[in-house]
Amino acid sequence: MRALCRAVPSSFAHALSAAPPDPPIDVALARAQHAAYVAALGALGVAVTVLPADEALPDCTFVEDTAVVAGGTALVTRPGAPSRRAEVTAVAAALAGLDVHVMEAPATLDGGDVLRAGRTFFVGLSARTNRAGADRLAAAFPDHRVIALEVPPSVLHLKSACSPLGDEAILLAEGSLDPHLFRGVDIVSTPEAHAANAVAVGNGVVVAAGAPGTRALLERRGLRVIEVDTGEMRKADGALTCLSILL
């Protein structure tokens, strides 16, 4: 397994957030948390490439939003936030060895709205991802089924509230989305909302620190849990899956 990450720019202090963070983002701490995340992926056997940050793009560390990759195919997205659109250039270059498709206007899609469970993509229709974006995803991955779900306005991305645990299960923040929307997969509910976004790789999983209940749930499923502090990422409405593209 390989993964693409992107370093934290100094301008991360001005990353998009629904509410101005108080206290403000500590960029040095964000970098330390990012380094711990990269190390956690490494400990789970993932070979990580860290692309350089771009100071002109405060949100560029949230690399997940810029591409959807499955098998040998990549769809370079058109992020919903105009300030994030230029993030895709460096990512597209890094994906050049794959069969690369590029999304065009009027489609918009953030990778944070795409949850893959085996050959099914659940796609959140959100403030960032529109129906044309979901349709473009379906066209780029004809061997996958695309199921579009409405994301409530209080939730930034589909995966702000959930994340895949392998191909057959989804970790879901209790009370966030109707579990019945996810047909054909097991739902593992956690009351610790900030920990519902985790990165599962093989028999390991990277989980937000400070969520002992979620940790115990995942350990009971036989997963090796590595905790990473996500405090500074959360100030910019980010979580763990946002920080990588698994290839």
Residues with catalytic roles: 157, 242
Tell which positions 102-141 bind ligand CIR, by CB under 6 A.
112
- Confirm or reject binding of residue 87 to ligand CIR (CB under 6 A): no
User: Smallest distance, Å, CB 159 to ligand CIR?
Assistant: 6
Q: Please give the C-alpha separations between residue 238 and each of 102, 140, 161, 179, 242, in angstroms, as whole numbers.
A: 24, 26, 11, 22, 6
Shortest Cβ 183–ligand CIR spacing (Å): 23
Return the residue of 3, 126, 237, 240 that touches ligand CIR, per CB under 6 A: 237
Closer residue to ligand CIR, CB minimum distance, 16 or 92: 16
Query: Nearest distance from residue 212's CB to ligand CIR, in Å?
Result: 23
Q: How many CB atoms lie within 10 A of CB 31?
A: 18
Angle at 177 between CA 174 and CA 182, to 5 degrees: 105
CB of 241 to ligand CIR, least distance (A): 6
Residue 65 within binding range of ligand CIR, rule CB under 6 A: yes
Cβ-based nearer residue to ligand CIR, 209 or 221: 209
Stretch that binds ligand CIR, among 15-23, 32-40, 145-153, 177-185 (CB under 6 A): 15-23
Judged by CB under 6 A, which stretch of 44-52, 61-69, 130-138, 201-209 contacts ligand CIR?
A: 61-69
Q: Does 204 bind ligand CIR (CB under 6 A)?
A: no
Nearest distance, CB of residue 23 and ligand CIR, angstroms:
17
Min separation Cβ 197 and ligand CIR, Å: 7
Q: Which of 41, 46, 57, 62 binds ligand CIR (CB under 6 A)?
A: 62
**Beta strand 162-165 with 145-150: parallel, antiparallel or unpaired?**
unpaired
Instruction: Figure out which of the listed residues 3, 88, 242, 247 binds ligand CIR, where binding follows CB under 6 A.
Output: 242
CB 132 within 8 A of CB 139: no
DSSP string spanning the chain?
-EEEEEPPPGGGGG---SS--SSPP-HHHHHHHHHHHHHHHHHTT-EEEEEPP-TT-TTTT-GGGGEEEETTEEEE---SSGGGGGGHHHHHHHTTTSEEEE--TT----GGGEEEETTEEEEEE-SS--HHHHHHHHHH-TTSEEEEEEPPTT-SSGGGSEEEETTTEEEEETTTS-GGGSTTSEEEEES-GGGS--EEETTEEEEESS-HHHHHHHHHTTPEEEEE--HHHHHTT--SGGG-EE-
Q: Which is nearer to ligand CIR, 5 or 184 (CB)?
A: 5
Q: Is residue 193 close enough to count as binding ligand CIR by CB under 6 A?
A: no
Residues that bind ligand CIR (CB under 6 A): 15-17, 59, 62, 64-65, 81, 84, 112, 157, 159-160, 236-239, 242
